[in-house]
Amino acid sequence: MKTIRLFNDVLSIVFAVLYFYQVLYVLIALPKGRRSLNGNIELKRYAVLIAARNEERVLPNLIHSIREQEYPPELIDIFVVADNCTDGTALVAGKSGAIVWERNNIEKIGKGYALEFLFERIRVEYGYRKYAGYLILDADNLLDRRYIFEMNKSMSEGKKILTSYRNSKNFDSNWISAGYSLWFLREAKFLNRPRQRVGASCAISGTGFMISRDIVERNGGWKHFLLTEDIEFTVDSLLKGDTIGICETAVLYDEQPVSFRQSCRQRLRWSKGYLQVFKKYGPALIRTFFQKGSFSCFDMIMSTLPAVALTLFGVAINMTGLLYGFLANDPQAGILINSVLRAVGRVYGVVFAMGLLTTVSEWKMIHAKPHKKILNVFSFPFFMLTNLPISFVALFMKVEWKPIDHSISRTLEEVLLISKDKSETPAKQASQAG
């Protein structure tokens, strides 16, 4: 039992050493300010790519938010792939003014294949060089009115790949959607912002990212098909020498799952996808880190595997020790239980502090009533702890891509109204958001 307690102490030290840089990230992220571009900015032409599977309820609101951009509409073309749909997705997309192509392929299933299809159709019918960049969105998203304008400004600074500020349109649904939302807000503020400030590469997170035509031409379209195609693209781009930036002033609103079953299914895919990415790219990341001293590679290594692997290893050792102690009637078993409880308490405290800091710093960006913002600080650690059994199952279970049901049909004005005084009109709030 003493050996296991020593193991726990050593494990805590290893965690502290490996992830101390993220404490420094917090200090780097806190100062405000963003350099503004001087002079006139060229307004470039962009293609918006949306992979949609049975999204007739939410897709029209996204397309409407694109049409309402403070950006010349003639410089924005919207492309939708209705991917293996059994509803009216193609119909509502066409009625909303998008260019729609239908794809039916039950062998190659997943967002990566849908994006490959879209890029190839654009190449054949329009040519990649028609557009300065390609904006990838999910059908459940909403865009702030200045989103494309702000992304264009960042692209004008020479960025080749950009992610954006991922907010939530349903933080207020329940503790599950709030947990997701807070994690993505933390990622934007305390991971991607400091990465950009120190010159490291940011990470793309599912949706709301832009790729320049140079990258698309070099890659030959879209060639990433793992369960987490976004992380695969991030790591592949990093290994090719690209530095991904973030445009914090481009705000995207995303819908988060509200059912625990659906959440588990999604996070199971993410966990399996991280394992796939590390298996495919891990050796190259490690090699590049040691050969070139790439901090971005070290950061991506830390982001894809060690935390989960070390935690699961620690849980396995402690559970084995507890089982042995009870079976052998070892009087030290009670001491080990106290040690485990203290470890769980430390984890809760760290994640609680993470959630509290994010909530305080991003208070005005969270669209929910104050009491829900506060309550989520306490539920956030429990949400994060549920990742442990999910990650464990992912080690052994075969996981396939499955769509997530989106049913929160809200306009941008309705999202902004949630946390505002009811006396304020949607039009007034939309004006304030711009």
CA 16 remoteness from chain centre: 24
- ∠ CA 220-224-229 to the nearest 5 degrees? 140
Tokens of 86: 């059994």
Mean pLDDT (whole number) for 35-40: 61
Helical (H) or strand (E) element with 158: none
Predicted local distance difference test score (pLDDT) of residue 1: 65
3-state secondary structure 240-266: CCCCCEEEEEEEEEECCCCCHHHHHHH
In CATH, 1-28+43-434 is 3.20.20.80: no
Q: How far is CA 370 from CA 190, 285, 374, 375, 417, in A?
A: 22, 42, 6, 9, 13
pLDDT in tens, 67-115: 999 999 999 999 999 999 999 999 999 999 999 999 999 999 999 999 9
Separation CA 290–CA 285 (nearest Å):
9
329 pLDDT above the threshold of 80: no
Residue 264 CB burial class (10 angstroms; 0-12, 13-18, ≥19) = middle
pLDDT in tens, 156-199: 999 999 999 999 999 999 999 999 999 999 999 999 999 999 99
Residue 140: CA count within 13 A, CB half-sphere: 20
Instruction: Write down the domain spans for the chain.
Output: 1-28+43-434
pLDDT band of 422, cuts 50, 70, 90: very low
Separation CA 397–CA 244 (nearest Å):
32
Mean pLDDT (whole number) for 28-49: 83
**Average pLDDT score, the chain:** 91
Q: How far is CA 86 from CA 23, 54, 55, 218, in A?
A: 47, 6, 10, 35
Mean pLDDT (whole number) for 385-393: 92
pLDDT in tens, 251-299: 999 999 999 999 999 999 999 999 999 999 999 999 999 999 999 999 9
Separation CA 335–CA 328 (nearest Å):
15
Among 314, 355, 367, CA closest to 173: 367
φ/ψ (deg, to 5) at 351: -70, -35
Which is more confident, 357 or 400?
357
Predicted local distance difference test score (pLDDT) of residue 366: 97
